[in-house]
Chain A
């Protein structure tokens, strides 16, 4: 089963240690075949809204910046528990924050 993990933007500034630990973590997850894809997201982005026939485009950044998604990871795991453990280890590296995790239907 696959899970999409979305991490919300963190307040704390990334330092050298975080980068090193995160690189090692990503390398480990890639080598073990768990991590299929990952990436960071531009905080500003834009928003598409559809109402009736009308589609409007709103450029970011958005005011509620704390809710913005800062990065994603697509993992392939054996169970929900495995997904939880991977998310926990991710948070242990980046510090306080929130991750949203959704199973991806195949």
Chain B
């Protein structure tokens, strides 16, 4: 007995793309087409249990959906009866319809995440919940993303025909990009505990196969299909029994899926014949590289020379940092680790790769091969701290420990590495950056620590948590820091540097900051507070002194408003004009005593009223002398807005 409900769900997944695509030709609105298709599905849920399953459920649903579309068009009186086929005629070509829908769901007017979500929804037939699970995001976020995408398509009046000529190339590359994005998200999950999400790979493979049959004239379409089939052929061997990644050259080639490899080879042949006489595109080149690996019966038999040449061509075509990194790996095998290392070192200054764990990972491997073991270990540790994937992190830590020759033979690698990692600093190389930063922040007042934390954590991540301070040098620090905040305004940049200087001095390595250069700050008055006009807000006599001093302090110190509000009377250094994380100028200093008003402790800026007994704040936010609470950000913001019409932020240039 076949379960009708389950069948309805399955049929929807298998057929919804064709149904929606056929309707799209009639109604020219993805959202409406999907709604009408779902109306047909409702009819199926009602009728199939009574009448039995139709032989071809997809055709049944399409017929019903087309009738509903005609009804809809009649009702909305847009139906003129001429440019539409009668509802019962067979679809012109369902392959073309689906391709048209795919071009729409991958339309460049949509942001990439929207293209991905909409494509999985209308082509893959996945529910928002399924898409959300695959990407580890909330279901409502996905539902909203899909709804917004449909609205954008409707609002921007995109053309629903198949693109041709020069437009086709760009549109097709957007489609290929979306498909490969989906595949990659499944193949190397960027976050979470599992290294792969096979469901997404399967969806992408299906999309790739669909494209290959419906747009067979484009070599890149077959190139992408070949690339995905061959990559997928290694799915079973690229993850070890403990969930760790297994590098290509260590995989058991006997377990590679020959069926998928052969499908990949066949797709590659189609790519070659479709692209005869043309220079190969990026997907064909990547597929050719995958073919090289698949053809090698052992890792040692890999034709690295050819792979390096293919990467040279790929790097010329799309010199993305990731391609250049892979090229360095290939060159490292084909022309020696020194040659590879030289290419990797060029990439270290690239801001795009600054948090990409594979850069230190690859560099660590190459350093190992040239015998620079201590550096190799640090790079592998840095790679471990950068990856967001748990299995990969354990793997990289294990490699780092193996590099250090610390691996005890009776303990499984990952355990030993994890123990080692938790146990913290080891003897010989002095304090590690990670622990030193924690110590430094731990010794500060919470407000100051708060102000420094972000800057220092960022630098620590880039320099490596397990990097011993003794191995850092000023030029190296400066080079890495230079990649961190490319778009930072001078003031922000200088604050980051100041945080590092304080840390380096406190840790006993002040020279490490000697390579860092402040950026000049333009003093031009650009903020609305200035341009607003004649009177600076702190000079207004109609405003209470507390507000005026607060505003002046924010303006003079350029400190975060939260840090200013967090100041306590007992921590102020009135002579040096500073408190934790905040230092102010003369004008603030002159008026500050009016706000302190003889108090010796407690919050500097107080609210007007005492809190109700039920809403007593933490003791630190309560003035022991007046019983009033610390002025809140919301209240401070409200007061400033009342007085000037602007937000407090505009006080900071």
**Shortest Cβ distance from A93 into B: residue:** B55
Question: Is B495 among interface residues, defined by CB-CB distance under 8 A?
Answer: no
Which of B202-210, B321-329, B365-373, B441-449 is found at the contact surface with chain A?
B202-210
Using an 8 Å CB-CB cutoff, how does the interface string of B183-227 with A read, 1 for contact, 0 for none?
000000000000000010010011111100110000000000000
Question: Is B152 among interface residues, defined by CB-CB distance under 8 A?
Answer: no
Closest beta carbon of chain A to B131's beta carbon, Å: 13
**Shortest Cβ distance from A24 into B: residue:** B56
Are A82 and B208 in contact, CB atoms less than 8 angstroms apart?
Answer: no
Are A78 and B199 in contact, CB atoms less than 8 angstroms apart?
Answer: yes
**Shortest Cβ distance from A27 into B: residue:** B213
Are A84 and B2 in contact, CB atoms less than 8 angstroms apart?
Answer: yes
Question: Is A12 among interface residues, defined by CB-CB distance under 8 A?
Answer: no
CA distance A31 to B211 in the complex (A): 8
Closest beta carbon of chain A to B257's beta carbon, Å: 8
- What residues on A are CB-neighbors of B199 within 8 Å? 78
Question: Is A47 among interface residues, defined by CB-CB distance under 8 A?
Answer: no
Contacting A92 at CB < 8 Å: which of B55, B207, B214?
Answer: B55
22 A-B pairs whose Cβ atoms sit less than 8 Å apart in the complex = A31-B209, A31-B213, A32-B14, A32-B206, A32-B210, A33-B210, A37-B259, A76-B205, A82-B13, A82-B14, A84-B2, A84-B7, A84-B10, A85-B11, A85-B14, A88-B2, A89-B55, A89-B56, A89-B57, A92-B56, A106-B235, A106-B236
Question: Is A30 among interface residues, defined by CB-CB distance under 8 A?
Answer: yes
Closest beta carbon of chain A to B432's beta carbon, Å: 42
Are A78 and B208 in contact, CB atoms less than 8 angstroms apart?
Answer: no
- What residues on B are CB-neighbors of A37 within 8 Å? 259
CA distance A31 to B212 in the complex (A): 8
Contacting A81 at CB < 8 Å: which of B9, B55, B95, B213?
Answer: B9
Closest beta carbon of chain B to A72's beta carbon, Å: 13
Restricting to A88-106, which residues have a CB under 8 Å from any CB of B?
Answer: 88-89, 92-93, 106
- Count of interface residues, chain B, beta-carbon cutoff 8 Å: 29
- What residues on B are CB-neighbors of A84 within 8 Å? 2, 7, 10
Closest beta carbon of chain B to A29's beta carbon, Å: 10
- What residues on A are CB-neighbors of B259 within 8 Å? 36-37, 74
Are B210 and A78 in contact, CB atoms less than 8 angstroms apart?
Answer: no
Q: How many A-B residue pairs have CB under 8 A?
A: 57
- What residues on B are CB-neighbors of A36 within 8 Å? 259, 263
Closest beta carbon of chain B to A97's beta carbon, Å: 14
Besides A31-B213, A88-B2, A92-B56, 6 other A-B contacts (C-beta < 8 A):
A30-B209, A76-B202, A76-B205, A78-B13, A78-B199, A106-B236
Closest beta carbon of chain A to B528's beta carbon, Å: 55
Question: Is B413 among interface residues, defined by CB-CB distance under 8 A?
Answer: no
- What residues on B are CB-neighbors of A88 within 8 Å? 2, 7, 53
Closest beta carbon of chain A to B493's beta carbon, Å: 50
CA distance A69 to B9 in the complex (A): 30
- What residues on A are CB-neighbors of B7 within 8 Å? 81, 84-85, 88
Contacting B95 at CB < 8 Å: which of A31, A74, A89?
Answer: A31
Question: Is A79 among interface residues, defined by CB-CB distance under 8 A?
Answer: yes
**Shortest Cβ distance from B11 into A: residue:** A85
Closest beta carbon of chain A to B466's beta carbon, Å: 37
Restricting to A49-89, which residues have a CB under 8 Å from any CB of B?
Answer: 74, 76, 78-79, 81-82, 84-85, 88-89
Restricting to B224-249, which residues have a CB under 8 Å from any CB of A?
Answer: 235-236
Are B202 and A32 in contact, CB atoms less than 8 angstroms apart?
Answer: no
Contacting B10 at CB < 8 Å: which of A32, A82, A106?
Answer: A82
Question: Is A43 among interface residues, defined by CB-CB distance under 8 A?
Answer: no
CA distance A37 to B259 in the complex (A): 9
- What residues on A are CB-neighbors of B208 within 8 Å? 33
9 tightest A-B contacts by CB? A33-B209, A33-B206, A92-B55, A31-B213, A81-B10, A81-B6, A85-B10, A82-B10, A106-B236
Closest beta carbon of chain B to A92's beta carbon, Å: 4
CA distance A51 to B2 in the complex (A): 41
Closest beta carbon of chain B to A7's beta carbon, Å: 16
CA distance A37 to B266 in the complex (A): 13
**Shortest Cβ distance from A76 into B: residue:** B202
Main secondary structure of the interface of B (DSSP, over half): helix
- What residues on B are CB-neighbors of A85 within 8 Å? 7, 10-11, 14, 57
- What residues on A are CB-neighbors of B2 within 8 Å? 84, 88
- What residues on B are CB-neighbors of A33 within 8 Å? 205-210
Question: Is A34 among interface residues, defined by CB-CB distance under 8 A?
Answer: yes
Closest beta carbon of chain A to B387's beta carbon, Å: 26
- What residues on A are CB-neighbors of B257 within 8 Å? 106
CA distance A85 to B57 in the complex (A): 10
CA distance A92 to B2 in the complex (A): 14
- What residues on A are CB-neighbors of B56 within 8 Å? 89, 92
Using an 8 Å CB-CB cutoff, how does the interface string of B531-554 with A read, 1 for contact, 0 for none?
000000000000000000000000
Are B209 and A32 in contact, CB atoms less than 8 angstroms apart?
Answer: yes
CA distance A36 to B209 in the complex (A): 10
CA distance A84 to B14 in the complex (A): 12
CA distance A81 to B14 in the complex (A): 11
CA distance A34 to B202 in the complex (A): 10
- What residues on A are CB-neighbors of B55 within 8 Å? 89, 92-93
Closest beta carbon of chain B to A36's beta carbon, Å: 6
- What residues on B are CB-neighbors of A78 within 8 Å? 13, 199, 202
- What residues on B are CB-neighbors of A79 within 8 Å? 10
CA distance A30 to B206 in the complex (A): 9
CA distance A78 to B14 in the complex (A): 10
- What residues on B are CB-neighbors of A82 within 8 Å? 10, 13-14
- What residues on A are CB-neighbors of B263 within 8 Å? 36
CA distance A30 to B263 in the complex (A): 12
CA distance A81 to B53 in the complex (A): 14
- What residues on A are CB-neighbors of B209 within 8 Å? 30-33
- What residues on A are CB-neighbors of B3 within 8 Å? 81
Restricting to B1-34, which residues have a CB under 8 Å from any CB of A?
Answer: 2-3, 6-7, 9-11, 13-14
CA distance A106 to B256 in the complex (A): 10
- What residues on B are CB-neighbors of A93 within 8 Å? 55
**Shortest Cβ distance from B263 into A: residue:** A36
**Shortest Cβ distance from A30 into B: residue:** B213
Closest beta carbon of chain A to B428's beta carbon, Å: 47
Are B11 and A34 in contact, CB atoms less than 8 angstroms apart?
Answer: no
CA distance A20 to B614 in the complex (A): 80
Most buried by B among A30, A37, A85: A85
- What residues on A are CB-neighbors of B57 within 8 Å? 85, 89
CA distance A74 to B259 in the complex (A): 10
